[in-house]
Structure 1
Amino acid sequence: MADAALSSAEAIMVDAKAMFPDTPTASDALIGYEAPKAQMVSYQQRMLYRSKASEALTLAKDALVSFRRAGESAKKVSALKVVVDASMAMDRSFDAMMAASDELAMIKRTGNKQAEVDVSEMLAEVQIARGDAGSASQSLNEALALYRELGKKDGEAKILRTLAGLKLKTGRTKEALSMAQQGLGLFKELGDSKGEADCQRIINRAYAESGEMEKAPNRNDALKALEDLASAVENRDKSLWKTAIVELNKSSAYTQHDVQQIFGSALKKDRQAAASFLQQMGIRSSGSAPELVLKEVTKVFTYVGFRVGGLGYGPRFRCLNPTHALGVEGDVSSVKAVACLQISDEADDWEKELQYHPGILDGCLQSQSALG
């Protein structure tokens, strides 16, 4: 029964993830992979995705309990993976973190190093997604020590790569550089070209952020791409622009100053034509449009403010996510409230089917609080 439940749960999650393909993991984002372009997702699609995740979660939880009782470590880890993935899909990262950390504590008592390293990686991925760099670093370091103890160089290289990306993200460039170089050596030894490229990208970014761009291994590749980018702007060549941008992102061996110099030079030669081309490519040149200012007001701050003012909204009427005040700098009359509203998880199924949910309607009014 447990095997069947796990198989069903895994199949359901595969089906759910297929709705949003090519979505990078949290650790992928650290390495520098770009997220896919935003796509419009209907309410029905989102609800179907969450429904599938919920179904998988229920099955995986039952399987996890059974495998835990039977002492089947490998299957237990597989079931936990579905529990974590499904929880994350339902935007319940805290539940995912607790599931992984609780299981890790139990596994540590058994002395099963492979299961421990698998769950440590799982936990780190959730912690990275939650923005908890400190805890993620600790989990990754524990996984690194375990991989070294197990003598698994592929796992060691993978953890070093993720740790390097995490260190770089938190501004610790020297540590990032050291770990990326260690990872690069291991990936070369293993013949893993993708791993090599990932570590090279991190090394390039580390040198760029530390002001030592000349030391970046792929600097020459980036300079060639920058030349192509300049040519693309000058000749209004969209195809060459796209190719140059891909190559720049692939190497990461450039600074924002490099790019600004190219744009500045093009604007000096023919401001109107260059500005028009850059705008088509999604780049706004200075002075081509009013400066917009976006001020965020967090969900917690919003509802604490309401509470202080005497309005105690219940869970079903706390539908606002972070709200923003958007307007032209210096023009008070242009300021507007921009908000994303979502029906509470505590709402009953019938509430979610309402065309005009009371919490959403009231949330539209609540959003005006962002205007001050």
Structure 2
Amino acid sequence: MRKVSASEHLSGLIVLLRFSKDARALLTTSPGDAETRAREALQTFRNLGNIDGETAAQTLIAKVLVLRGSWQEAIRPARNALKSLKLANCIDAQKILVRALLGCSQTGEARQSTTAKLTEFEQQSDRHGQAAMTMLMATISAAEGNPTEAWSTIQEAQGLCDPSDLKLLSKVHLEASSILLQLRMLDETLVRAQEALMAFWKLGDRLGEQKANAVLSEVYSLRGVPHLAPNRPQAVEAMKEMAKAVGLRDADGYQKASEQLARLAVSNPPISKKEKREVFDEVLRRDQAASDFIRANSSASKVDTSLAGETFRAVEKKGLYFGYRAGGIAYGPRFRGIDVALGRATAARGIEDEAHAYAVYQLQEEADDWEKGYRAHPSILDSALQSGSVIGLTRQ
């Protein structure tokens, strides 16, 4: 390697500082531009022999690829960055590597790599590093389908955190909210996500704010009040952009808007099916080939599931019972006992007893007082049978 002059070293530092500032801004507004800038900077840093710059660029490239759902591509730059980083500076790159490995379902390798780093931090009595790696272990447990173990581990991570370490605490709160969401503990999810949002706001971390707002939006969507979601205006705008792209046959524009919509929540963007129909109704009515375009491009779009556990889709109550009526079964008010229904929209993990749908049954207000004394009301028993249709409805 050639010797780098003092002026080249100074030039490299200036480029690195400028790059770091620009990269953070682009990451929240335009991940594609951030990746382009990072790859250009990577070549510049290599020419200057600036190892710190190379590592920063590799880390950013991996982060962008994870955000775009290109997990396999993200593994190599994340590993390259880790090779050059000292232990105390490896936390961000290790987190990105874990996200990439989990995206590729390589949970064993993610656990092995994180365990090795955790051991190194323990040997150096570095509580900050231990807390960060323990948080990642919770993420891995959640990805393995063990949310209860993940919740126990994230509590351990919080116990290791220094209360003044706002940067790490914000990430722990965010991860806790994600795990609580998988456990469907919505009140607790709301509290943790709000704590994370406030911490990210104090830090000026816009990307963190976006992730916390995505979790909050998911909670409000699951509660059936999407109009209260913080990401609601952006969701409506993204949906309109998708409809516009359909009319123009703009595949890139459609997928870009689709990816934006997906980032606004974990799996249920804060916009109802009725609103989606209203947005797309005009273009679908006057353009018979629009449906084919939507199907072709929806299957190709990539969604970031780094915060998601299993993906479940809500079924609207009115739509559920309208479907039964159309099929010849007209349930009366007393027998419309399914108030909340969620069905799996993605494949299960291969676990034998993995749930395919969830439903909440409730005796309806139309029931007379004397009916409320039944320990097993006929409408509740019937609702248990009705809920089987939720599985099929969410896969349409």
TM-score normalized by structure 2? 0.46
TM-score normalized by structure 1? 0.49
